[in-house]
C-alpha cells in the first residue's frame, strides 16, 4: 500500500538526526516474548502537531466522534513493517515520552487513568474492535481528594512504560491491528463537548501484526472507533480526585468505583497477563526531528535552512481514508 501523498509520507517518518525534546506518550517499541522488534517497527506513529522544536507526536484525542479515536492522526496509513506473532505470545508495548530509556518520564504523573488494549482485523470494519485487556483504578487514595492508584501512572509509568498482554489462544491466522490506549482523566471532571479546553484525554496508538499458525478462533463482534465511547460514560466523565477510600467531600459523589470505558474484556482473552523478561532494545532510543506536521487537517512539509530552522515549502489537506481490503506493506526491515 502506498501513502496518499509525499506530504503524508513525510509526516510519518523522521528525516534528520536532531533529537526531539517535546512529545506526549506513544508506543516506541514492541517486544514479542521478550524480544524487541525494533524501535518504531510496525507502529503507526501519530503525526507531529507542529513544527520543530515545539511540536510533538500524539497530542491527546478528545473529540470522541473523530476518526482519530481509531488509531490517532494518520492512523489509516500502513507502515512498512508488520510484526509476526503467534497465539499465546506475550506482547510488551514500550510507551515513552522523550526517549526510549529507563530514564524517560513516560507520561506526566498527573495523567491518571485506565489503560486498554483492543484487537481488530486489519483493516477495521464496523464493530470490529474487541477488548482483550484493561486495567484502571486498582487502589483507592488514602485521603479525601487524592487520586488513588491508576494503570497509566502507578503501573505503566512506574514500570518504565511497559504494557503487557497476550495474543488470544488459538486465534485464527491473519492480519490484525493492536489498538492500545492510555487515558488521562486529570481534566475529565468536565466534558469536552461542553468545554473544549478540558475533558478526558485519549492516547490511542496502533500496531500492525500478522498472526501465524493454524488457529481457528475468530474475533467476535466488538465496537467501533469512533463510537465506542460517549461523553456521558461514567469512565469518560469522571473526577479522579474522588477516588478515595474515605467518605468523599463536596462536590464529590460516591466515586469509589470506576468503570473503564468501552465493552467488557472478551471471554476469549487471557484472564491473567504477567510481565516477561525483556532483552535489549534494538534500534535508536531517540526520535529524530521531523520535516512535516499536521494541524487542523493541514499537512505542512518543510526543509531546513543552514541554521537548522524549518522552512515550509508545501501544504496539503489531509482526510483519513481507511482501506476496505488489506494491502501488504511495501517493505519489511530485517531484524
Per-residue pLDDT tens over the stretch 53-68 = 888 887 899 999 999 9
Quick one: cell of 17?
538526526
Closest CA to 185 of 134, 226, 143, 243: 243
Q: Which domain holds residue 44?
A: 6-317
Residue 308 pLDDT class (50, 70, 90 cuts):
confident
Per-residue pLDDT tens over the stretch 171-211 = 999 999 999 999 999 999 899 999 999 999 999 999 999 99
| Collapsed DSSP state (helix, strand, coil) of residue 240 | helix
- DSSP code of 249? P
Count of structural domains within the chain: 1
Residue 11 pLDDT class (50, 70, 90 cuts):
very low
β-pairing, 174-184 vs 115-121, is antiparallel
The whole-angstrom distance between residue 194's C-alpha and the CA centroid of its chain comes to 25
Q: Is the pLDDT of residue 265 over 60?
A: yes
Give the residue with greater pLDDT, 5 vs 301.
Answer: 301
Give the residue with greater pLDDT, 264 vs 19.
Answer: 264
Q: Rounded mean pLDDT of 271-277?
A: 88
The answer to whether residue 294 sits within a structural domain is: yes
The answer to whether residue 1 sits within a structural domain is: no
pLDDT of residue 13: 37
Q: What is the pTM of this model?
A: 0.89
The answer to whether residue 223 sits within a structural domain is: yes
The answer to whether residue 58 sits within a structural domain is: yes
The answer to whether residue 31 sits within a structural domain is: yes
The answer to whether residue 244 sits within a structural domain is: yes
Distance CA 27, CA 96 (A): 6
Cα first-last separation, the chain? 21
* H-state helical runs in the chain: 6-12, 68-71
The average confidence (pLDDT) of the chain is: 87
Q: What are phi and psi of 8, to 5 degrees?
A: -65, -40
The answer to whether residue 330 sits within a structural domain is: no
Instruction: Let me know how long the chain is.
Output: 335
Q: Is the pLDDT of residue 162 over 70?
A: yes
Q: Is the pLDDT of residue 148 over 90?
A: no
Q: Are 167 and 89 in contact (CB under 8 A)?
A: yes
Tell me the CATH number at 179. 2.70.50.70
Closest CA to 183 of 229, 242, 144: 229
β-pairing, 201-211 vs 174-184, is antiparallel
Q: Are 107 and 158 in contact (CB under 8 A)?
A: no
Residue 269 pLDDT class (50, 70, 90 cuts):
very high
Opening angle at CA 207, ends 130 and 16, nearest 5: 155
pLDDT of residue 216: 98
Q: Is the pLDDT of residue 264 over 50?
A: yes
The answer to whether residue 39 sits within a structural domain is: yes
- DSSP code of 163? E
Give the residue with greater pLDDT, 251 vs 307.
Answer: 307
Amino acid at each position: 500500500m502506498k501513502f496518499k501523498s509525499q506530504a503524508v509520507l513525510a509526516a510519518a517518518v523522521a528525516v534528520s538526526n536532531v533529537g526531539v525534546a517535546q512529545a506526549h506518550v506513544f508506543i516506541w517499541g514492541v517486544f514479542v516474548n521478550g524480544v524487541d522488534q525494533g524501535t518504531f517497527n510496525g507502529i503507526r506513529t501519530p503525526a507531529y502537531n507542529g513544527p520543530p522544536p515545539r511540536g510533538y507526536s500524539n497530542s491527546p484525542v478528545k473529540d470522541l466522534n473523530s476518526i482519530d479515536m481509531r488509531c490517532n492522526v494518520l492512523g489509516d496509513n500502513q507502515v512498512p513493517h508488520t510484526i509476526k506473532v503467534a497465539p499465546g505470545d506475550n506482547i510488551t508495548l514500550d510507551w515513552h515520552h522523550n526517549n526510549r530509556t529507563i530514564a524517560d518520564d513516560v507520561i506526566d504523573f498527573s495523567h491518571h487513568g485506565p489503560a486498554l488494549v483492543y484487537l481488530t482485523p486489519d483493516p477495521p470494519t464496523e464493530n470490529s474492535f474487541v477488548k482483550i485487556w484493561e486495567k484502571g483504578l486498582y487502589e483507592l487514595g488514602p485521603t479525601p481528594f487524592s487520586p488513588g492508584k491508576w494503570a497509566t501512572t502507578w503501573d505503566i509509568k512506574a514500570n518504565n512504560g511497559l504494557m503487557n498482554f497476550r495474543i488470544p489462544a488459538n486465534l485464527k491466522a491473519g492480519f490484525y491491528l493492536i489498538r492500545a490506549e492510555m487515558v488521562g482523566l486529570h481534566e475529565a471532571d468536565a466534558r469536552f463537548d461542553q468545554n473544549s479546553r478540558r475533558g478526558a484525554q485519549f492516547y490511542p496508538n496502533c500496531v500492525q501484526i500478522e498472526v501465524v499458525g493454524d488457529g481457528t478462533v475468530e474475533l467476535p463482534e466488538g465496537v467501533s472507533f469512533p463510537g465506542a465511547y460517549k461523553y456521558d460514560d461514567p469512565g469518560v466523565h469522571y473526577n479522579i480526585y474522588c477516588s478515595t477510600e474515605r467518605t468523599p467531600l463536596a462536590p464529590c459523589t460516591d466515586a469509589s468505583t470506576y468503570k473503564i470505558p468501552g465493552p467488557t474484556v472478551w471471554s476469549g482473552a487471557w484472564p491473567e497477563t504477567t510481565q516477561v523478561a525483556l532483552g535489549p532494545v534494538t534500534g535508536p532510543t531517540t526520535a529524530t526531528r521531523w520535516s512535516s506536521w499536521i494541524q487542523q487537517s493541514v499537512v505542512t512539509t518543510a526543509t531546513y535552512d543552514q541554521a537548522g530552522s524549518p522552512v515550509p515549502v508545501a501544504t496539503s489537506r489531509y482526510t483519513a481514508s481507511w482501506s476496505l481490503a488489506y494491502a501488504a506493506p511495501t517493505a519489511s526491515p530485517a531484524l
